[in-house]
Amino acid sequence: MISLERITKTYTSRKQSLTAVRDVSLQIERGEIFGLIGYSGAGKSTLLRCINLLERPTQGQVRINGQDMTALGNRELQQARKKIGMIFQHFHLLHSATVAENVAFPLRLAKVPKRIAMEKVHALLDLVGLRGYEKHYPAQLSGGQKQRVAIARALANDPDVLLCDEATSALDPDTTQSILDLLLDIHDRLNLTIVLVTHEMSVIQRVCDRVAVMDHGNIVEIGRVADVFLHPQHDVTRRLLQTENSTSSSPALADVAAPVFEVTFVGDTTYAPVLSEVARATDSTFSILEGTIGTLKDVPYGKLLVAWHGNRRAVTAAISELAARGCGVTEISQDRTTVEV
Ligand SMILES: Nc1ncnc2c1ncn2[C@@H]1O[C@H](COP(=O)(O)OP(=O)(O)OP(=O)(O)O)[C@@H](O)[C@H]1O
Ligand SMILES: [Mg+2]
């Protein structure tokens, strides 16, 4: 669906040049919700804007449905861009225009007859939950409502792809949740492919299927959200996860008189009494030192730090039984570095 091939983007001014994206290749499937995460300056927005050629890559190719976007002339590019909607952190609405006029704007550019455009505007406002707000002005709306208008506008030309650049970063947690729910809803109804930039792991966790972690213009880690979330490989990913789950008081493992393991599980295992069954079967016991249980999109997951008590054979048996039942198990040393099991 979206294929980025060896994309490099260098910004050049008279004094200096800066490479914001470095030789990035990436495939995004039709219907996927794909996340790009990273710290400020990592190159997320630049890469996202290369998809619709708001930024022209210095090198590399962008293909959408097989069409090489980088090879298109201005007219064809304008046409191709209609199939790619975009929303932003600060909404970018026209302040002197009403809600209806904002949503109708892309239809006016596309010379859609007024009556048809108005029908479309009403349907879109219905879809985003803003029926009756046609005559309001942006200044009369909350942040969440403004983003809903921006989403309606982005959908006006029936795009296949929706690009979201920090679309919830200016919103409070409840409003963020409602906008993410709306994105999931329109994704399902309209069969959209969504590429979403954020610096918040919780946003990725709620809506994305796959995620790429960016650092200094590179993709340093990419995979299914559950894998990246439960088994982060890169330092940047771990840091992004830590900020999110900053437990104020992690227990000191030096005081624990038993080997400590990180046990992860995804899917139905989350609800099964796996730990206690394994403990009983191997004549051992365990204590939970810290943990998170939640959902990744709609899949339940858990990540626990457990001390496993018993003689060495019992503990070894318990650990292999946990692995056999589909849990991820990693031994954690006293200084919290990983030990090979
Ligand atoms: N138009 C531009 N001209 C020159 N440099 C730019 C331009 N846009 C971005 N940059 C630089 O490119 C790098 C990547 O910027 P980008 O906006 O893509 O990062 P980001 O990951 O989206 O960061 P943030 O989370 O702060 O939005 C930064 O160093 C930035 O200063
Ligand atoms: Mg950005």
Is 162 in contact with 87 (CB distance < 8 Å)? yes
Which CATH architecture best describes the domain 253-339? Answer: 2-Layer Sandwich (3.30)
CA dist., res. 329 & res. 226, Å (int): 15
Residue pair 191/29 in contact (Cβ under 8 Å)? The answer is no
Indicate which residue's Cα is closest to atom 25 of ligand 1.
Answer: 40
The reply to whether ligand 1 has any atom less than 6 angstroms from the CB of 44 is yes
Q: Quote the CA–CA distance of 76 and 65 in Å, as a whole number.
A: 14
Q: What is the pLDDT of residue 127?
A: 96
Q: What predicted TM-score, i.e. pTM, was given to this entire model?
A: 0.88
First vs last C-alpha separation in the chain? 40
Give CA angle at 234 (233, 238), nearest 5°: 90
CATH 3.60.20.10 fits 2-242, yes or no: no
**Which of these, 25, 316, 315, 38, lies nearest to 166 by C-alpha position?**
38
232-288 pLDDT per residue, tens: 999 999 999 886 655 555 677 777 889 999 999 888 777 788 999 999 999 999 999
327 SS3 class: coil
- What pLDDT is recorded for position 15? 87
Cβ of 198 below 6 Å from ligand 1: no
Mutate to test the pocket of ligand 1, among 7, 9, 36, 45 (most ligand atoms within 8 A of CB): 45
- The pLDDT value recorded for residue 341 is 54
pLDDT of residue 206: 94
CB of 43 sitting under 6 A from ligand 1: yes
Q: What is the pLDDT of residue 44?
A: 97
Q: What is the pLDDT of residue 245?
A: 57
Q: What is the CA radius of gyration of the chain?
A: 24
* Most informative mutation of 12, 13, 18 for ligand 1 (most atoms within 8 A of CB): 18
Name the nearest CA neighbour of 229 among 247, 246, 244, 216. 244
**83 touches 157 (CB < 8 A):** yes
| CA 260 distance to own-chain centroid | 31
CATH 3.30.70.260 residue ranges for the chain: 253-339
Q: For 206-227, write each residue's pLDDT tens digit.
A: 999 999 999 999 999 999 998 8
Give the residue among 36, 26, 29, 27 at the shortest CA–CA distance from 197: 36
Q: Which residues of the chain have pLDDT under 70?
A: 243-250, 338-341
- CA of 165 from ligand 2 middle (Å) equals 7
Ligand 1 site, residue 41, Cβ cutoff 6 A: yes
* Mutational pocket test of ligand 1: of 9, 10, 11, 163, the residue with most ligand atoms within 8 Å of the beta carbon: 11
Domain with CATH 3.40.50.300 in the chain: 2-242
